[in-house]
């Protein structure tokens, strides 16, 4: 399992605890900015591409998209 997948799983568990399964499925209007903000909850800012524990904006968005099942 890659570090991105591990962070996505960590975020998915946090989102379920925060929102609940039903609310998570109902929410719409999910933007790139939302994904970046969510992905940053489980990673620190990288000053390059990132290494898993750190993430650039796009890597943070990928983590969030995987956590929500979009990828």
- How confident is the model over 8-66, as pLDDT tens digits? 899 888 877 777 666 666 665 788 999 999 999 999 898 887 776 889 999 999 999 99
With residue 61 as reference, give the H or E element that holds it. helix 57-67
Looking at residue 2, its pLDDT comes to 86
Looking at residue 27, its pLDDT comes to 62
> What pTM value is reported for the model?
0.65
């Amino acid at each position: 399992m890659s570090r991105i997948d591990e962070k996505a799983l960590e975020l998915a568990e946090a989102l379920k605890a925060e929102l609940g399964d039903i609310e998570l499925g109902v929410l719409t209007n999910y933007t790139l900015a939302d994904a970046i903000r969510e992905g940053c909850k489980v990673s620190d800012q990288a000053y390059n591409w990132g290494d898993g524990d750190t993430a650039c904006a796009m890597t943070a968005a990928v983590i969030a998209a995987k956590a929500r099942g979009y990828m």
